[in-house]
Structures are given as structure tokens and as C-alpha cells.
């Protein structure tokens, strides 16, 4: 892999897609009637944890898709200036992760961009993981680059891993009955060509990842730090505890 720029510096990776359209049903009753992106973790909404990290990394534009309780999310973000916010409206039809990104592509073009789930937070290790992701991106060799976390040190994740990571950085999916070391953190880099020849309407990012894996153009990067998937009330309490111990701002 070659270093191909970075956020906020000489590179072109300055735009992010933040996925905020999901129903978040597993978070009840801890959501208190709010959409999951607005659930507070240590006094700050999940979406603001994401956007603050993006802004600190040099991301200048964030496209946010909305569906469930969209008005509340738009109201919350209306005075946000860093990064600049654009809304991709999915009120009429929920498009899943891949369909949501495809609908927003005209706002994300022309080059590679970041995709970030709203419920993904972490405590940094040494340096910025997003900057490391930017440095690892190779536009010539990759269609997608996924940020992966060690299952053994992650919180709010209880699966048997999502991906194995080869020595050259390529990823493969966990096989049936297999245990693999890495969980997907909900953060990735994608090139628009990843969505070539995809259907209109709803589909998962898994669809385009599978195609990229088969073509040898799907890569992963192991993050440095402690990742938290904040998807349930129990995971929310666990994240609160982890961040409190770490004394994160």
C-alpha cells in the first residue's frame, strides 16, 4: 500500500458520509424517545462524538442521511459548522447502508470518501486512527478500506469476528463456524467506483464489499485503541464506563 494523501493536508479525502438513518430499535428504552444518533454518551450526542472527531481530523464536509425522527436530527445539527453539514433525505424510503450511500453519491463525488456509522466511538491509541486510515488508502489498488478492531479488546460487540486480515492488508469474511480476530468498526474509506452497477433502492454495503473482496480490492487496517459499538442500553453503559476511566473529553 502506498501513502496517498490525508485529511486536512495535501490529500483529497475531505468528505465523510455519516450514517444516521437507521431505526435504532435495540437502543430502547435508553434512547428516551430520541433517534440513536442523538443518544448522549458522557453528555454528548453520539453524532457529535463522530462529527467532532471528523472535524479534528480535517474533514470539511459531512453528508448525513436521515429517516427515523429525521426532524430531530436536522434540528440538532442546524447550527453545526465544522464540518459543514449536508443532509441526504431518506424520509420516503429507508435505503440501508449501501443504498443510502449511493443516493448521496452526487454530494460525495468525485474522489474517495469516508463512511462512518453514528454508533461507533473509540479511545485513540497512539495518534489518530482516521489519519492512519487516510495514510493507508491507495486509490490505485483499493475500492474500499475498512477500519477493523480486535474482537478481544472491543466493547459492545459479541460476535465471532467479521473479517480476517492477510499479510498484504486484504480482507476476507469469516467462514461458517470460524472465529476470526477482527470486527468491523463501522468506519471505512470507499471510492465511488465501489457502487458501479449497483441497484437502485435499498441494499447493504456488504453487497459491494463482497464484490470488492472477490476482486482483491477490499483491504483492512487494524485500529490502535479501544473500540466501542454503542448499539444497546448495555453497550451504552459500557461505553460510558470506558470513556469515564479514560477521561476522554
pLDDT recorded at residue 33: 87
Residue at 3 is within a domain: no
Q: Per-residue confidence at 246, pLDDT binned at 50, 70, 90?
A: confident
Number of domains in the chain: 1
> DSSP character for 174?
P
- Structural domain range at position 19: 15-246
Q: Supply the pTM of this predicted model.
A: 0.93
Taking residues 190-212, what's their average pLDDT?
97
**175: Cβ–Cβ under 8 A, 6 or more apart, which residues?**
none
pLDDT recorded at residue 11: 53
Q: Per-residue confidence at 4, pLDDT binned at 50, 70, 90?
A: very low
Residue at 2 is within a domain: no
Residue 6 pLDDT exceeds 70? no
Alpha-carbon distance of 99 to 194, in angstroms, equals 12
The rounded percent of the chain whose pLDDT value lies above 90 is 85
Residue 18 pLDDT exceeds 70? yes
Residue 248 pLDDT exceeds 70? no
Taking residues 150-172, what's their average pLDDT?
95
Mean pLDDT of the chain, nearest integer: 92
Alpha-carbon distance of 46 to 94, in angstroms, equals 20
Residue at 20 is within a domain: yes
Cα end-to-end span (Å), the chain: 34
- The CATH number linked to 177 is 3.90.550.10
Residue at 132 is within a domain: yes
pLDDT recorded at residue 247: 63
Amino acid at each position: 500500500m502506498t501513502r496517498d494523501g490525508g485529511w486536512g493536508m495535501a490529500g483529497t479525502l475531505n468528505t465523510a458520509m455519516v450514517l444516521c438513518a437507521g431505526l435504532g430499535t435495540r437502543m430502547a428504552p435508553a434512547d428516551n424517545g430520541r433517534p440513536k444518533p442523538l443518544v448522549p454518551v458522557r453528555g454528548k450526542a453520539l453524532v457529535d462524538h463522530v462529527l467532532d472527531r471528523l472535524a479534528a481530523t480535517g474533514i470539511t464536509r459531512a453528508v448525513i442521511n436521515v429517516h427515523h425522527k429525521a426532524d430531530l436530527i436536522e434540528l440538532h445539527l442546524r447550527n453545526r459548522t465544522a464540518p459543514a453539514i449536508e443532509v441526504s433525505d431518506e424520509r420516503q424510503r429507508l435505503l440501508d447502508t449501501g443504498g443510502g450511500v449511493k443516493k448521496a453519491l452526487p454530494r460525495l463525488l468525485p474522489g474517495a470518501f469516508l463512511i462512518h456509522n453514528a454508533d461507533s466511538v473509540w479511545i485513540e491509541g497512539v495518534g489518530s486512527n482516521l489519519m492512519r486510515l487516510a495514510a493507508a488508502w491507495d486509490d490505485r489498488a483499493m475500492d474500499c478500506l475498512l477500519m477493523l478492531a480486535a474482537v478481544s479488546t472491543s466493547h459492545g460487540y459479541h460476535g465471532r469476528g467479521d473479517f480476517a486480515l492477510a499479510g498484504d492488508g486484504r480482507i476476507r469474511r469469516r467462514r461458517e463456524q470460524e472465529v476470526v480476530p477482527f470486527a468491523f468498526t463501522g468506519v471505512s474509506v470507499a471510492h465511488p467506483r465501489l457502487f458501479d452497477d449497483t441497484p437502485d433502492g435499498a441494499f447493504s454495503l456488504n453487497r459491494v464489499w463482497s464484490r470488492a473482496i472477490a476482486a482483491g480490492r477490499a483491504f483492512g487496517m487494524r485500529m490502535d485503541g479501544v473500540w466501542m459499538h454503542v448499539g444497546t442500553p448495555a453497550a451504552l453503559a459500557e461505553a460510558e464506563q470506558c470513556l469515564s476511566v479514560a477521561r476522554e473529553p
